[in-house]
Amino acid sequence: MASVPPPIGNSTISSQYGYQPSLGVDITGLLLFTISTIVHTYQMFTSRMWWLIVLLIGGITEIIGYAARIYSWTDDTNLDAFLAQTVTLIIAPSFFSAALYVVFGLIVIMVGRQYSILAPQWYTVIFVIADLISLIIQSVGG
């Protein structure tokens, strides 16, 4: 039998979280990811580094997640907001990891292929596939 979180305060309805989400932390996260996403959007278009799209997708996903957490602060029993923040905040880091794999491949190109076991493009392919497998395993477990 699944355990139900204890009620918050005098409420008879339990929070989806088991605690009250922090409004200050959630607003800070929302603002930081919004600023970062705007900066990366500007960088992508001005430098024509189209691979930065993965950072934009990750940033937008984080923004949605923190917005759902802020909504949860007003109604922490709302299952839709809880699921939205859970899914988005779990998926978003995969996009940031993908950007790191691309950068790693670019570093291999700049430093020289002789220092790498794999061709630069294979780092992105292999690690993105590993991330997808990891996300599938997490979703099945969740």
* pLDDT tens for the chain, residues 1 to 142: 555 555 444 444 577 777 777 889 999 999 999 999 999 999 999 999 998 999 999 999 999 999 999 998 888 788 888 888 888 888 888 889 889 988 888 888 889 888 888 888 888 889 889 888 888 887 777 5
Tokens of 12: 């008879």
Q: CB atoms < 10 A from the CB of 107, how many?
A: 13
Look at residue 73 in the predicted model and tell me its pLDDT.
Answer: 86
Amino acid at 71: Y
Global pTM exceeds 0.85 = no
Look at residue 74 and give its three-state secondary structure. helix
